Chains A and B, each alone.
Chain A
Amino acid sequence: MVQIRIHGRGGQGVVTAAELIAMAAFADGKISQAFPSFGVERTGAPIEAFARIDNKPIRTREHVYHPDVLIIQDPTLLDSVDVAKGCDNNTLVIINTAKLKKEIKINLPPKNIFNVDATKIALAIIGKNLVNTTILGAFAKATGYVSLNSLEKAIKEKFKDKGESIITKNINAIRQSYKL
């Protein structure tokens, strides 16, 4: 079983990101689960969401305490939340930041850290600082736990009510971050 924990802030689509991972994994033929841990339901408040991917039914409902993959959507959380809690030397970290790898204040092996300036990509392609979809391209590339194709399928399904233009923008953003 692969366990994924996503850190971000209310309004950044943290929960949607976890759902997209689960939907993509399901499209890949796996069994998956995604759920949020709401603090207060308020814009800007630190929020966590979780996803699990397995080959057999997933029964447990506990939060993810020892993630295999850690996704950090908002680098300012490094100062206020112990995002690395429960991570070990095998945890892969996908982080949205403009900084260089050596400048990132996180106490985990640099070889496992994948930094991507998702904000820059999102502003350029989507036009808003919504990095939740963008960062998933880097997630797919770095971990291989979901395919790019299934991720795009998940976006199309999840955003089907939002219109063609939004779907295309999000898919382009994902492709861009997948390249990095």
Chain B
Amino acid sequence: MKINITAKPGTTIKNKTGGWRTFIPSTDYNKCTSCGTCAKVCPEGCIAMENIKAHKKEKPVTDYDFCKGCAVCAVECPIKAIIMNLDEK
């Protein structure tokens, strides 16, 4: 008997969706005040606040494997430390 109808979880991690974007965000860590707004508003949840040694502070790190370039982070950043550039492909 062959029963093969179940699907395993976790496919959203395997399916890297970063390739969909047209624009790519880049964060200026010197301007960034580490307020964490971008990480909170990212609809994909692909910005994480991590300790960056060079800055001795938590800074937002964008996972470009999943960032679709929606620019919500750039728009919401209170000091405009995130800029969107054309992601040349």
Contacts and interface: CB of A to CB of B under 8 A. Distances in A.
Given A76-B89, A97-B89, A44 B20 contact: yes
B18 to A, nearest CB: 8
Nearest to A46: B19
Interface string A36-56: 000000011000000000000
A138 to B, nearest CB: 16
Contacts of A99: 88-89
A80 B68 CA distance: 16
A98 interface: yes
Contact of B17 (A44, A74, A77, A129): A44
What is the interface of chain A mostly: helix, strand, loop, or mixed?
loop
Interface residues on B, range: under 10
A9 B20 contact: yes
A57 to B, nearest CB: 38
A74 B86 CA distance: 14
Interface in B8-26: 17, 19-20, 22
A119 B20 CA distance: 13
A129 B86 CA distance: 10
B63 to A, nearest CB: 16
Contact of A98 (B17, B19, B20, B88): B88
A79 interface: yes
Nearest to A120: B86
Interface string A115-129: 000011001000001
Given A9-B20, A74-B19, A44 B68 contact: yes
Interface in A98-137: 98-99, 119-120, 123, 129
A75 B20 CA distance: 10
Given A74-B89, A99-B89, 13 more contacts: A9-B20, A43-B20, A44-B20, A44-B68, A74-B19, A76-B19, A79-B19, A80-B19, A98-B88, A119-B22, A120-B86, A123-B86, A129-B22
